[in-house]
A and B are shown apart, each in its own frame.
Chain A
Amino acid sequence: MIELKNIFKWVNQGANKTFLLRDINLTINEGELISIMGPSGSGKSTLLNVIGMLDGFDEGEYSFMGNSVKGLKEKQRSQLYKEHIGFVFQAYHLIDELTVFENIETPLLYQDMKSSERKALVADVLDRFNIVGKKDLFPTQLSGGQQQLVGIARALIGKPKLLLADEPTGNLNSKQGEEIMELFKKLNKEDGVTIIQVTHSEKNAEYGSRIINLLDGRIEK
């Protein structure tokens, strides 16, 4: 599904280059649940953003589902992630002005789906995540765990093949975190969603089928 070959990413600081990613080689197959670990500043999030096509890279080859990402225009790239990738953030990033229902519905709006269809899909997800009762509330009226649940529901509504999660439990207490991880495991097992998560926690990393350790932008063998 994902193939990264000799990926380099750097920023210029004066005359020097500071490398954010060095020579990343990584193959991820469909159905995997991968955890990326490493200390602060090791490049975990950068790698996740490169995979999610939110960020570019300077050298190397990246092929996503058979498409070479490098040559794509911004519009084509966003078309690609719009169809296939869902994002979950540490800070949830729900839109404050929209209700739970509307937040989850948003990605569907950008896919030109009919209103009735959208309603049905959102209702489905609300049901599955046990948040039907909260659908008319605004994000600020929810606890962190609930907000993240909505965030995940929103990421999944478009039926993506790949879910990218950047420290999804970072702002949650351990019990809430555990629930989220269980949910990930279940999604991975039952729905076959490929999941890549960045995490600090050894315990959460254990849920994955594979752990990738990063240090100074390099994958530790």
Chain B
Amino acid sequence: MIKNYFKIALRNLFKHKVFSFINIFGLSIGIAAFLLIVQFVSHETSYDKFEENGDRIYRLQQNRYNSGKLTTQWAAGAAGVGKAVKDAFPEVEAMAKLTPEEGVMSYGEKKFKEKRMFFATNSFLPMFSYKVTKGKLDNALTDPFTSVITESTSKKYFGNEDPIGKLISYNKIDNYKITAVVPDVPENSHLKFDLLFSFSTFLKFAGPESETTFDWDGYYTYIKVIPGTNAQRLENKIKVYIDKKVGPEYKKRNESVEYKLQPLHDIHLYSSYMMEAEVNGNGQSVYFLLIIAVFIIIIAWINYINLSTARAIDRAKEVGVRKVMGSYRSQLIAQFMFEALLINLFSVVFAFVLVLISLPLFNSLTGNELNFSLLLQWQFWLTLVLLFAGGTLLAGLYPAFIMSSFKPITVLKGKFTRSKQGTLLRQSLVIIQFAASVILMVGTFCVYKQVNFMQSQELGVNIEKTLVFGGPNVIDTATYKNRLKTFKTDLLSVPGIHKVITSTAVPGKKPGWNAGGIKLVEDGDEKGNQYRIIGIDYDFLEAYGIQVLKGRAFSEQFPTDKKCVLFNEEAIKLMGFKNAEEALNRRIDFWGDQYTIIGVVSNHHQEGLRQPYDAHIFRLTPNTSSYFSLKIEKNKDPQEIIQIAEKKWAEFFPGNPFEYFFLDDHYEEQYKADKQFGKTFGLFALLAIIVACLGLLGLASFATTQRTKEIGIRKISGASIPQLLMLLTKDFIKPVLISFIIAVPVTYYLLQKWLQNYAFKINLSPLLFILPALLILIIAIITISTQTLKAANANPVKSLRTE
């Protein structure tokens, strides 16, 4: 029996090649897209899941309020919060604290600039269940000047030597003894490090306050609670406790601080605060992509249902004959289910091949990093099996029930006609397909426009032709100032370089320098607020094209400028000045020192347009070693400049690796996630539309075949070809049009939600909806026309003779 089913299913497949192609191709695309997205999603959701006790680990996320208004949200907390919480609450089993560090590490001749380094408490490694591969975990980070490194770092500096007990040098100043080697941090961890230093070292540098104060920010604090702890309740208790501990002191400054328990597993997808250890993923994008995956697979399944029920009329005779030959309905259902099974099987196999072929393309197009190791994951195979079973059942059952229900007497007598219900169902399903397509298409347009908008806006700061390199870490403080001066003059004499600037921050990232409690001298502490500080030299504003609106810029003619500051427009607003004039020559209190406001400058987009303008205060720090920027003349080859700069660098700052980037690339990095999302979204939207159009093509081809006789009669009665085309096309355009009406409000709602992520965003103009809808309509009409044109042009004599 099965053999017979198999045979007839296979012959049907081959006989109706167009239908089989549409079904199998459509399903394959759907399944392949689904698999790729699910892989991407499962990677994104896998972050930190490997952690054995991950469900008991929380990060203390800090919110700071000024005058009752939320002003800054931090991924890292205050220095004192960890110890305070650990000591006060018995349900906190362990606490780990880390603070980031950058610098040049060296061992022998080898030196590298390292960015993923932290001072970490000894409790960190055990809390995150790290195992050592060399050395001992016990007290690995207890003593000052001890360090734990990863295997890659060990290879990098020590090659095949055993690093345990060896000394590694930091900025050629301090030496750290390696106590243990741990495996590399997994790719799906939110906190990646290459080297750890003992926190007790930091304590030595910074003093005992670094264990207790609530006024220093920037300490990642993790707690592990005992099993069965209610996180919400603990969070409330911590709030009460902290309020009691530092509340009164803070109140004087009209400030407050609160801590949230952020579950470890939520950090990667749902956290984007100041000082995140790395750029995190976006839970919303992941969720949107998952919706797309579901859309595509549903569109493909609908194709199967539509085409099979449309074709039911073809199969009706067979059903009748089989019933008369003695088949039970259940046997017929089994037969049709078997056909669905076979089509799904082919599709799954084909989809599998598609995934293998398209993976590198998918990665390069979307910037994702999926690899073939997904074939080793049981989730991949489970998804495949589920899609196969789901497709067979969901798409197969309905047509099987419909087709097996035919009464032999009606179908064999030729009285069988297409039911109204069937047509209605197919039209409804087409509406769903196209509504989904429109949503995806408009979504793609909108994401594209938003990214484009962000890239094309005036930034208020000139980032072109700017070569930036991190300043030297290994320096001789006594001579640095003079050395820097000659370095600058030397570079300026190079043709093509017209400015050399030093600053504590460059555009493209939130400045690392955040200062709280800043107020006018005459004001009380309660008026204090937080500002982002950028230390600059005399040339910064001019070179970066930031306008001085009122007052003046820093100038070497005024030796007192070291005690002066510049405010940007946003900072003026934050301090409560009515206008720029009012701010001039006022004195502010900056951590106990007094500074005079000598100028007001224009706002600039320090960060990408996702973020609003920030309140910046500029201070004069001409001898900073954080960033050096070279402004290169327009027609100069930057490669030449890089070579010269590197040579000078080695000459002036030996022992420091030369690492550079171009500022515009660096700035673009901020949009990487958006661009990647847009591309991924667009790709799958395109696939969804292709699959939906395939279905429409199948239906159109079928319906026109059905109506051949009618067309013949109409033609003989004098209908013109345009009239016939109109007649045939009308039926298909209606559901497409209705789908627009359904899709628009849904899309509008979703896009509004998505755009909330951006401080600077496009308007949702009607055109944004009309253009993609029109495009889909045109695609649909072209699709249908390939079939209707054929039918309308056919010779009526032929079609009428066959009856």
A154 surroundings in chain B (CB, below 8 A): 325
Within 161-220 of A, Cβ neighbours of B (below 8 Å) are at: none
B11, B15, B331 — most chain A CB neighbours (10 Å) = B11
Within 110-129 of A, Cβ neighbours of B (below 8 Å) are at: 110-111
Nearest to B325 among chain A residues (CB) is: A107
Q: Interface-forming stretch among B313-321, B553-561, B712-720, B730-738?
A: B313-321
Within 268-321 of B, Cβ neighbours of A (below 8 Å) are at: 317-318, 320-321
Contact B324 A110 (CB under 8 A): no
Query: Measured between alpha carbons, how far is A94 from B317 in the docked complex, in Å?
Result: 9
A55 surroundings in chain B (CB, below 8 A): 409
Q: Determine if B1 is an interface residue (Cβ-Cβ < 8 Å).
A: yes
B325 surroundings in chain A (CB, below 8 A): 82, 106-107, 110, 154
Contact B409 A95 (CB under 8 A): no
Size of B's binding interface in residues, CB under 8 A: 24
Contact B326 A93 (CB under 8 A): no
Q: Determine if A42 is an interface residue (Cβ-Cβ < 8 Å).
A: no
Which of B317, B324, B328 lies in contact with A87, CB distance below 8 A?
B324
Within 69-109 of A, Cβ neighbours of B (below 8 Å) are at: 75, 78, 81-82, 87, 89, 91, 93-98, 102, 106-107, 109
Which of B4, B7, B8, B412 lies in contact with A93, CB distance below 8 A?
B412
Which of B11, B327, B409, B414 lies in contact with A97, CB distance below 8 A?
B11
Contact B412 A89 (CB under 8 A): yes
B324 surroundings in chain A (CB, below 8 A): 54, 81, 87, 93
A82 surroundings in chain B (CB, below 8 A): 325-326
Q: Known: A89-B412, A97-B12. Contact between A106 and B317, CB under 8 A?
A: no
B318 surroundings in chain A (CB, below 8 A): 95-97
A25 surroundings in chain B (CB, below 8 A): none
Contact B321 A93 (CB under 8 A): yes
| Least CB distance, A83 to chain B, in whole angstroms | 8
B12 surroundings in chain A (CB, below 8 A): 97
Contact B328 A54 (CB under 8 A): no
Contact B323 A93 (CB under 8 A): no
B327 surroundings in chain A (CB, below 8 A): 110
A96 surroundings in chain B (CB, below 8 A): 318
Q: Determine if B322 is an interface residue (Cβ-Cβ < 8 Å).
A: yes
A145 surroundings in chain B (CB, below 8 A): none
B11 surroundings in chain A (CB, below 8 A): 97-98
| Least CB distance, A20 to chain B, in whole angstroms | 12
Which of B15, B326, B409 lies in contact with A111, CB distance below 8 A?
B326
Within 46-70 of A, Cβ neighbours of B (below 8 Å) are at: 49, 54-55
B15 surroundings in chain A (CB, below 8 A): 97
Q: Determine if B408 is an interface residue (Cβ-Cβ < 8 Å).
A: yes
Query: Measured between alpha carbons, how far is A97 from B321 in the docked complex, in Å?
Result: 13
Query: Measured between alpha carbons, how far is A154 from B325 in the docked complex, in Å?
Result: 9
Within 313-353 of B, Cβ neighbours of A (below 8 Å) are at: 317-318, 320-328, 331
Which of B7, B320, B326, B331 lies in contact with A107, CB distance below 8 A?
B326
Contact A106 B322 (CB under 8 A): yes
Q: Determine if A38 is an interface residue (Cβ-Cβ < 8 Å).
A: no
Contact B321 A95 (CB under 8 A): yes
Contact A78 B323 (CB under 8 A): yes
Query: Measured between alpha carbons, how far is A45 from B414 in the docked complex, in Å?
Result: 13
| Least CB distance, A164 to chain B, in whole angstroms | 10
Query: Measured between alpha carbons, how far is A75 from B324 in the docked complex, in Å?
Result: 12
| Least CB distance, B3 to chain A, in whole angstroms | 8
Nearest to A106 among chain B residues (CB) is: B325
Interface readout for A21-57 with B: 1 if CB under 8 Å, 0 if not? 0000000000000000000000001000100001100
Query: Measured between alpha carbons, how far is A16 from B15 in the docked complex, in Å?
Result: 46
Size of A's binding interface in residues, CB under 8 A: 25
B323 surroundings in chain A (CB, below 8 A): 78
Query: Measured between alpha carbons, how far is A107 from B327 in the docked complex, in Å?
Result: 8
| Least CB distance, B413 to chain A, in whole angstroms | 8
Q: Known: A95-B318, A97-B8, A110-B331. Contact between A54 and B326, CB under 8 A?
A: no
A91 surroundings in chain B (CB, below 8 A): 412, 414
B15, B317, B413 — most chain A CB neighbours (10 Å) = B413
Query: Measured between alpha carbons, how far is A55 from B325 in the docked complex, in Å?
Result: 15
| Least CB distance, B129 to chain A, in whole angstroms | 61
Query: Measured between alpha carbons, how far is A89 from B414 in the docked complex, in Å?
Result: 12
Query: Measured between alpha carbons, how far is A78 from B324 in the docked complex, in Å?
Result: 8
B8 surroundings in chain A (CB, below 8 A): 95, 97-98
Within 85-122 of B, Cβ neighbours of A (below 8 Å) are at: none
Contact A81 B326 (CB under 8 A): yes
A106 surroundings in chain B (CB, below 8 A): 4, 321-322, 325
Query: Measured between alpha carbons, how far is A110 from B328 in the docked complex, in Å?
Result: 8
| Least CB distance, B439 to chain A, in whole angstroms | 40
B317 surroundings in chain A (CB, below 8 A): 93, 95
Nearest to A151 among chain B residues (CB) is: B321
Contact A78 B409 (CB under 8 A): no
| Least CB distance, B10 to chain A, in whole angstroms | 9
A111 surroundings in chain B (CB, below 8 A): 326
| Least CB distance, A196 to chain B, in whole angstroms | 15
A110 surroundings in chain B (CB, below 8 A): 322, 325-328, 331
Query: Measured between alpha carbons, how far is A54 from B327 in the docked complex, in Å?
Result: 13
Interface readout for B403-418 with A: 1 if CB under 8 Å, 0 if not? 0000011001110000
Query: Measured between alpha carbons, how far is A96 from B14 in the docked complex, in Å?
Result: 13
Query: Measured between alpha carbons, how far is A50 from B328 in the docked complex, in Å?
Result: 19
A49 surroundings in chain B (CB, below 8 A): 409
| Least CB distance, A50 to chain B, in whole angstroms | 10
Which of B7, B321, B326, B414 lies in contact with A102, CB distance below 8 A?
B7
A95 surroundings in chain B (CB, below 8 A): 8, 317-318, 321-322
Contact B408 A54 (CB under 8 A): yes
Nearest to A75 among chain B residues (CB) is: B328
Query: Measured between alpha carbons, how far is A66 from B775 in the docked complex, in Å?
Result: 69
Contact A102 B4 (CB under 8 A): yes
Query: Measured between alpha carbons, how far is A95 from B326 in the docked complex, in Å?
Result: 14
Contact A54 B409 (CB under 8 A): yes
Interface readout for A141-159 with B: 1 if CB under 8 Å, 0 if not? 0000000000000100010
A89 surroundings in chain B (CB, below 8 A): 412
Query: Measured between alpha carbons, how far is A87 from B318 in the docked complex, in Å?
Result: 14
Query: Measured between alpha carbons, how far is A102 from B7 in the docked complex, in Å?
Result: 10
Nearest to B413 among chain A residues (CB) is: A45
Query: Measured between alpha carbons, how far is A98 from B335 in the docked complex, in Å?
Result: 14
| Least CB distance, B357 to chain A, in whole angstroms | 33
B1 surroundings in chain A (CB, below 8 A): 109
Query: Measured between alpha carbons, how far is A80 from B11 in the docked complex, in Å?
Result: 31
Query: Measured between alpha carbons, how far is A102 from B321 in the docked complex, in Å?
Result: 13
Query: Measured between alpha carbons, how far is A81 from B327 in the docked complex, in Å?
Result: 11
B412 surroundings in chain A (CB, below 8 A): 89, 91, 93
Nearest to B15 among chain A residues (CB) is: A97
A93 surroundings in chain B (CB, below 8 A): 317, 320-321, 324, 412
| Least CB distance, A156 to chain B, in whole angstroms | 12
Contact A109 B4 (CB under 8 A): yes
Query: Measured between alpha carbons, how far is A91 from B320 in the docked complex, in Å?
Result: 13
B8, B11, B321, B408 — most chain A CB neighbours (10 Å) = B321
Contact A78 B4 (CB under 8 A): no
Nearest to B408 among chain A residues (CB) is: A54
Contact B326 A158 (CB under 8 A): yes
Nearest to A56 among chain B residues (CB) is: B409
| Least CB distance, B336 to chain A, in whole angstroms | 13
B8, B12, B320, B412 — most chain A CB neighbours (10 Å) = B412
Query: Measured between alpha carbons, how far is A12 from B328 in the docked complex, in Å?
Result: 29
- Can you name 16 A-B pairs with beta carbons within 8 Å? A49-B409, A54-B408, A54-B409, A82-B325, A93-B320, A93-B321, A93-B412, A97-B15, A102-B4, A106-B321, A106-B325, A107-B325, A110-B322, A110-B325, A110-B327, A110-B331
Report the 4 A-B pairs with minimum CB-CB distance, sorted nearest first: A82-B326, A110-B326, A107-B325, A97-B11
Residues of A within 8 A of B (CB): 45, 49, 54-55, 75, 78, 81-82, 87, 89, 91, 93-98, 102, 106-107, 109-111, 154, 158
Extra inter-chain contacts (10) besides given A78-B323, A98-B7, CB under 8 Å: A54-B409, A96-B318, A97-B15, A106-B4, A106-B322, A106-B325, A107-B325, A107-B326, A109-B1, A110-B331
